[in-house]
């Protein structure tokens, strides 16, 4: 707590307490107002801003990156727009962190914002405009991948539409979602492992003896997709992309489809178990499709929301009424 002297209407002076705050802001609103004030400052000719750094970078180095990464960085720059026309020398770690926290509360969008900002600061350092890369000091939100989020029925419809629109990569997401295939299994799957007559894939199972010995079964609806993926791959592998590019393409697909949830590739496998459970498939069959040794493991892959649970108990009630 500090003190300051103020002059009253009658001319007398009085000392009043003033709350001291870290960073110079009494509240988040004050910090935001400061940010807006920075944005509103008159830009002098020759002033270096995030925008003056981004424009030449976006027509040179950015174009050398993958299409998905270009899209991610363009979206990220839009989230920095509030500070894009501020003199870069006026930006602080606190102001940048507040903007990051406000615009990207989840890991992957925040990572894109930080990565883009780092590219721009490196350019500014090379030009002698600043001496340090403030992006390096920004803290990203925690990557929450412990709880899996299966695709909803509406999201699966969106994925089918995206695939039909010519995005072949989306076929891999559909394949995993309808077969229970793990990302690691997709990375090592070879075309020769496919038995088209039996509609199975055997030889790519990972982790457990059960998964290594039990084939993946391919639903009728996925067979044409699998044919397409085999033709698309130019090597003996079902997927001829490296791991990093695969993840880039996955998250680009999620952005393109406009999904609100922060999905990961492992959500595909959880989608399989959940969809089978909601379709009233016997637990023993679900366990076999998932290639689990114990059904207790399968249960961890089934995610049923409150609406589905209510529908289930209502169905039981109807069955009991029919026998009354």
Question: What pLDDT digit, counting tens, does each position of 147-177 carry?
Answer: 567 788 788 889 889 999 999 999 999 998 8
What rounded mean pLDDT belongs to the chain? 78
pLDDT value at residue 146: 55
Q: What value does the mean pLDDT take over residues 175-180?
A: 86
One CATH from 3.40.50.720, 1.10.10.10, 1.10.150.130, 1.10.3720.10 for 2-137: 1.10.150.130
Indicate if the pLDDT at residue 316 is higher than 60: no
CATH 1.10.443.10 domain span(s) along the chain: 153-310
**The two structure tokens encoding residue 41:** 């400052």
Mean pLDDT of 134-145: 85
User: Rounded to whole angstroms, how far apart are CA atoms 96 and 212?
Assistant: 49
List the single range of 56-70, 178-192, 229-243, 262-276 with lowest mean pLDDT. 262-276
pLDDT value at 282 more than 80: no
Share of the chain above pLDDT 90, in %: 38
> CATH 1.10.150.130 region(s) of the chain?
2-137
Task: Look at 323 and 291; give whichever has higher pLDDT.
Answer: 291
Share of the chain above pLDDT 70, in %: 67
More confident residue, 62 or 5: 62
> Is 0.75 topped by the overall pTM?
no
Q: Is the pLDDT of residue 259 over 90?
A: no
Average pLDDT, integer, range 269-282? 63
In this predicted model, which residue has the larger pLDDT, 53 or 299?
Answer: 53
Residues 6+ apart with CB under 8 A from 185: 204, 205, 206, 211, 216
Query: What pLDDT does residue 206 have?
Result: 83
At residue 304, the pLDDT reads 45
Mean local confidence (pLDDT), 297-305: 51
| Domain 153-310 of CATH type 1.10.443.10 | yes
Structure tokens at 271: 């989608």
Highest mean pLDDT out of 139-143, 163-167, 286-290, 314-318 = 163-167
Q: Which pLDDT value is given to residue 126?
A: 95
DSSP for 89-110, please give it.
Answer: GG--HHHHHHHHHHH--SHHHH
Strand partners for 72: none
- Please report where in the chains the tokens 């709350």 appear, as a residue: 19
How confident is the model at residue 310, as a pLDDT?
A: 46
Check residues 152 and 38 and name the one with the higher pLDDT: 152
Cβ distance 264 to 145 under 8 Å?
Answer: yes
Q: Residue 271: its pLDDT value, please? A: 74
Looking at per-residue pLDDT, the higher value among 40 and 47 belongs to: 47
The pLDDT assigned to 118 comes to 96
Q: How far apart are CA 112 and CA 290, in angstroms?
A: 34
The band of 312, judged by pLDDT with boundaries at 50, 70 and 90, is: very low
Mean pLDDT over 47-52 rounds to: 94
Res 222 pLDDT > 90: no
Please count the other Cβ atoms lying within 10 Å of the Cβ belonging to residue 174: 23
On the 0-12 / 13-18 / 19+ scale of CB atoms within 10 A, 82 is middle
How many residues appear in the chain?
324
């Amino acid at each position: 707590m500090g003190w300051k002297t103020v002059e009253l209407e009658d001319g007398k002076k009085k000392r009043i307490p003033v709350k001291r705050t870290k960073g110079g802001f009494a509240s988040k609103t004050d910090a935001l107002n400061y940010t807006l004030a920075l944005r509103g400052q008159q830009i002098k000719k020759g002033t270096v801003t995030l925008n003056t750094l981004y424009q030449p970078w976006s027509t040179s180095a950015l174009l050398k990156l993958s299409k998905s990464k270009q899209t991610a960085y363009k979206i990220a720059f839009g989230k920095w727009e509030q500070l894009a026309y501020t003199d870069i020398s006026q930006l602080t770690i606190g102001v940048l962190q507040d903007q990051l926290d406000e615009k990207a509360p989840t890991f992957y969008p925040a990572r894109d914002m930080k990565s883009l900002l780092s590219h721009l600061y490196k350019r500014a350092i090379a030009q002698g405009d600043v001496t340090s890369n403030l992006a390096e000091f920004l803290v990203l939100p925690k990557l929450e991948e412990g709880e899996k989020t299966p695709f909803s029925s509406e999201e699966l419809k969106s994925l089918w539409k995206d695939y039909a629109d010519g995005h072949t990569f989306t076929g891999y997401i559909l394949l995993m979602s309808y077969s229970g295939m793990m990302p690691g299994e997709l990375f090592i799957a070879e075309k020769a492992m496919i038995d088209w007559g039996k509609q199975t894939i055997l030889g790519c199972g990972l982790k457990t003896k059960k998964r290594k010995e039990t084939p993946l079964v391919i639903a009728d609806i996925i067979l044409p997709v699998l044919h397409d993926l085999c033709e698309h791959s130019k090597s003996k592998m079902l997927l001829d992309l490296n791991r990093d590019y695969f993840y880039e393409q996955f998250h680009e697909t999620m952005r393109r489809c406009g999904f609100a949830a922060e999905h990961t590739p492992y959500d595909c496998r959880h989608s399989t178990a959940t969809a089978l459970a909601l379709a009233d498939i016997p637990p023993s069959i679900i366990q076999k499709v998932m290639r689990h040794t114990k059904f207790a493991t399968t249960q961890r892959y089934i995610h049923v929301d409150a609406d589905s649970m209510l529908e289930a108990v209502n169905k039981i009630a109807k069955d009991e009424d029919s026998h009354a």
